[in-house]
Amino acid sequence: MPQNYVPIFLFMGVAFAIPAVTLVLFKLVRPENPHKTKLMPYECGITPLDDARGRYTVRFYIVAILFVVFDVETIFLLPWAVRFRWLGKFGLLEMGIFLGILIVGYIWIWKKGALEWV
Amino acid sequence: MPGAISQWFSAGDYLLALPMILLSIFALGILLIDLMLPPEWKSINAWTAGIGLAFSTAAVIRIHLAYARAGQGVLSYTGFMGSMMVDRFAIYFFYLFLVGAGIAILMSAHYLEIERENHGEFYALILFSVVGMMCMAAGFDIVLIFIGLELMAISTYVLVGFLRSDRRSNEAALKYLLLGAFSSGIFAYGLSLLYGLTGSTNLQLIGEHLATHMRENPHDPIAILALVTTSTGLFFKIAAIPFHQWAPDAYEGAPTSITGFMSVAVKAAGWAMLLRIFLSGLYPMRPIYVPLLVFVAIATMTGANLAALTQNNLKRLLAYSSIAHVGYMLLGLIAGSSTTPSATGIQGILVYLLVYTFMNLGAFAVITSLRRRDVIGDEIDDIAGLITRAPAEAVLMLIFLLSLAGIPPLAGFYGKYFIFLSLIETGHYQLAAVAVLYAVFGLYYYMRIANAMFMRKAVDTRPVTLSPAMATALAITGIATVGIGIFPDLFIRAAGWSLSIAQPLQLTSLFH
């Protein structure tokens, strides 16, 4: 049914129009003040192109590791949430134990100061 | 969907896992308590860890008594839908891990103060690694075994690098981490091939499917690839040549008490895993893996014994010696016909692991006690003239060294005795001859240390002071090394007991 595609084409049209309109609109409205740094691709505040031996602060690694830990937590929580009713009290208890262990880790990193940036 | 999930696991399952659950609770507790402790109270952590080990031991004894009450009728207690099997074999290893960790904690208490790294995480990590080891020994499902392996290995990586300001410790940890991760990858690849071939992660089912598969297709390259990659991972974990390169570096750089812990408990866990996989999962491939083991065993004995001859660092020397002992133990698995392992050989491996736990931890305890604020104390020169500085320690060290060399009536003799006996019983005379020849090499490098202790003048003449915990550790290991040597019956029976049920499950399936 070709008419079923009408909403999709409409949607695509809007999707293409929004960035085009905003780019043009902002070009007209904003003050023009080009700078070299502003033209670099944005990568979490790190210089994207640099010497391979360049050093950057170890805090990034700590944040990355913490991120992975809690990311994995979410991965385990999601299927449990989907099957919550079927898993019942048993699932709730098991998840409680799992979260309890993670909370110990969370208290530990908090107290150790791993969450403080400076 | 069948039934509620709560029907899948019974309360009994959690009783079987109680030794691990208790250790995990105590490890988490140490992490939290440590945050609140002022620096001068840090020794509480060692006590907490000790109490945790005691509780866990009580839980193991409880399962042990259940077997005693049930008599011969009960084959094994399995839990968590067959993925965990706490049989007598597992209980034997549980005791080994708990004793190894206990002595390592006794050795560490004062040592960490000297190194100024007295943190609670150290003890928490030891407990976590013991949990991992227990999963490896009791795991009857390759997924549980692999998770246990990783839990143990990751804890050990951190422990090896625990001396943060020491370059050697950092280097050792990084090397161990990289090679360990690599070998775990190969191991996981092997396990995934096994799963692909057999469609199961349970070791018993893998064994049964593999037996059918091997009958239909005896030279299937995929099965051989699975065998080779799996055994590569296993050989790495027990540090057999040619997968041993990490061991001397990691052993040298690690805190000395952790070196001792790694050489006994971590190694015993590797062996528990290896025996489970080779005897329960891969037994249909025994005709293929025995020649592989013969090559690895001879390479291990040759390489390690020759390399140990020229070492001047005590920890490195004992690292090579521990690799050499792995070579002897591998012979116990080779003993037997091309389809059936010899029961004496497997019993020999278990006895060997038991006596090795005490004598090797004892030797490392003596080396640990040489450490001072200003002396690292792990070179042969540091132990020179120990007889004038600390006569009791020198004599104990001599006992441990003679036991490691396998001189009767010390414990080490019985380890080697059963291995060689099983080789001779099953007609592997050449291998027995080679192993005895290399035992003589061993005597040379152990006596080099003894020579330094008794014949040479002390470089540093200050007497060695012992903390009470270290004295306890030395007393336990010393009494055990002499005691097992004089009254071996009890311990040999214990090893036999652990096999009497664990093995028939697999061995009977081999005898048909």
Q: What are the pLDDT digits (tens) for B481-504?
A: 999 999 888 888 888 888 864 443
Cβ pair B288, B224 in contact under 8 A: yes
Is the pLDDT at A42 greater than 80, yes or no? no
Give the mutation candidate from A68, A90, A109 for the B interface (greatest B CB count, under 10 A): A90
- Does residue A87 belong to the interface with chain B, where contact is any CB pair within 8 Å? yes
Chain B residues whose CB is inside 8 A of the A104 CB are 28, 31-32
Name the least confident of B78-92, B113-127, B160-174, B496-510.
B496-510
Residue A3: the pLDDT is: 78
Residue of A nearest to B29 (CA): A104
| pLDDT (tens digit per residue) in A79-106 | 999 988 888 888 898 899 999 999 998 9
| pLDDT (tens digit per residue) in B268-303 | 999 999 999 998 888 888 889 999 999 999 999 999
d(CA B102, CA B384): 29
Q: Give, for B494, the enclosing helix (H) or strand (E).
A: helix B488-511
Average pLDDT, rounded, for chain A: 85
Is the pLDDT at B509 greater than 60, yes or no? no
d(CA B153, CA B357): 19
Average pLDDT, rounded, for chain B: 89
- Does residue B10 belong to the interface with chain A, where contact is any CB pair within 8 Å? no
What is the three-state SS of B432-470?
HHHHHHHHHHHHHHHHHHHHHHHHCCCCCCCCCCCCHHH
Residue of B nearest to A94 (CA): B6
Arithmetic mean of pLDDT, B176-199:
94
Q: How many A/B residue pairs have CB atoms within 8 Å?
A: 26
What is the three-state SS of B131-192?
HHHHHHHHECEHHHHHHHHHHHHHHHHHHHCCCCCCHHHHHHHHHHHHHHHHHHHHHHHHHH
Is the pLDDT at B72 greater than 60, yes or no? yes
- What SS3 class is residue B202? strand
Is the pLDDT at B505 greater than 50, yes or no? no
- The larger pLDDT score, comparing residue B509 to residue B427, is at B427
Which CATH number fits the domain that encloses residue A104?
Answer: 1.20.58.1610
Identify whether A14 is part of a domain: yes
Q: Which domain holds residue A20?
A: 2-112
Distance of CA B13 to the CA centre of its chain: 26
| pLDDT (tens digit per residue) in B409-462 | 899 999 899 999 999 999 899 999 999 999 999 999 999 999 999 988 888 778
- The minimal CB distance from A104 to the residues B1, B4, B31 is found for B31
A89 contacts B6? CB cut-off 8 A:
yes
d(CA B328, CA B229): 22
Structural domain count, chain A:
1
pTM: 0.88
A89 contacts B28? CB cut-off 8 A:
no
- Does residue A90 belong to the interface with chain B, where contact is any CB pair within 8 Å? yes
pLDDT confidence tier of residue B5, bands split at 50, 70 and 90: low
Chain A residues whose CB is inside 8 A of the B6 CB are 88-90
- What does B60-118 look like in DSSP terms, one character per residue? HHHHHHHHHHHGGG---EEETTTTEEE-HHHHHHHHHHHHHHHHHHHHHHHHHHHHT--
B5 contacts A87? CB cut-off 8 A:
yes
Residue of A nearest to B7 (CA): A90
pLDDT confidence tier of residue A1, bands split at 50, 70 and 90: low
Distance from CA of B54 to the nearest CA of A (A): 22
Name the least confident of B113-117, B235-239, B363-367.
B113-117
Q: Give, for B509, the enclosing helix (H) or strand (E).
A: helix B488-511
Location of structure tokens 């928490």: B124
pLDDT confidence tier of residue A66, bands split at 50, 70 and 90: confident
| pLDDT (tens digit per residue) in B211-268 | 999 888 888 899 999 999 999 999 999 999 889 989 999 999 999 999 999 999 999 9
A111 contacts B6? CB cut-off 8 A:
no
d(CA B346, CA B356): 15
Q: For B172, what's the count of Cα atoms within 13 Å in the CB-facing half-sphere?
A: 29
Is the pLDDT at B506 greater than 70, yes or no? no
| pLDDT (tens digit per residue) in B123-145 | 999 999 999 999 999 999 999 99
**Cβ-based neighbour number of residue B436 at 10 Å:** 13
Identify whether A117 is part of a domain: no
Residue of B nearest to A84 (CA): B5
Identify whether A48 is part of a domain: yes
Identify whether A118 is part of a domain: no
- The minimal CB distance from B35 to the residues A89, A101, A108 is found for A108
A87 contacts B31? CB cut-off 8 A:
no
Vertex B279: Cα angle to B275 and B285 (nearest 5): 125
pLDDT confidence tier of residue B342, bands split at 50, 70 and 90: confident
Arithmetic mean of pLDDT, B102-116:
90
